[in-house]
Amino acid sequence: MRHMNESKKDIGFLSGGIGTIFISVTKIVENKVCGYFYSPFYRKLIYFENFAQMYIMADTLVRKLTKEERAYLKPVINPEKNCYSIKPKIYFFALNILSLEDNTWHGIMSYSGCKQKTYFKNSKEMLKKMNALLGITNIEDPEVK
């Protein structure tokens, strides 16, 4: 895992796609991940108590945006004033949702400690990768497709 003084440039922030979501994991209690996520379109931090809750709330926000809203709204991506600046944090993820096909997310993920981007073909795969990076083996299985 990376140190708290890591640079935002090291994480490989993403732009474009249907929605970008930043996730800051602040604690893990009994295999449940707690933290905050931030959508540049909504410009506010949203607290979650597990990945299932985070996914459901983020999915709702992403699906609310119409194509017209995404074209008109200018996302504010300033991680130092939102999710990235949260301390203490254990891990940081940046998700770029490229499409919402078959009622699931398809996209790219970058995260603390890795300059490469990881593709995910569905939401369940994304959550499994996130849990694996955090060393969680007892994975929550929300109604994620």
What's the CA gap between 12 and 113, in Å, rounded? Answer: 10
pLDDT of residue 80: 47
pLDDT of residue 74: 59
Pair of tokens at residue 108: 């790219």
pLDDT of residue 10: 36
pLDDT of residue 78: 54
Cβ atoms of 14 and 59 within 8 Å: the answer is no
pLDDT of residue 48: 92
Question: Domain-by-domain residue ranges, the chain?
Answer: 6-133
Phi, psi of 115, deg, nearest 5: -85, -15
pLDDT of residue 111: 86
- Residues 6 or more apart in contact with residue 109 via CB below 8 angstroms: 93, 94, 95, 96, 117, 118, 119, 120, 126, 129, 130
Global pTM value: 0.73
In 3D, which of 108, 145, 114, 141 has the Cα closest to residue 31? 141
What's the CA gap between 18 and 23, in Å, rounded? Answer: 16
Residues of the chain with pLDDT under 50: 1-16, 79-80, 145
Q: Which amino acid is at 112?
A: S
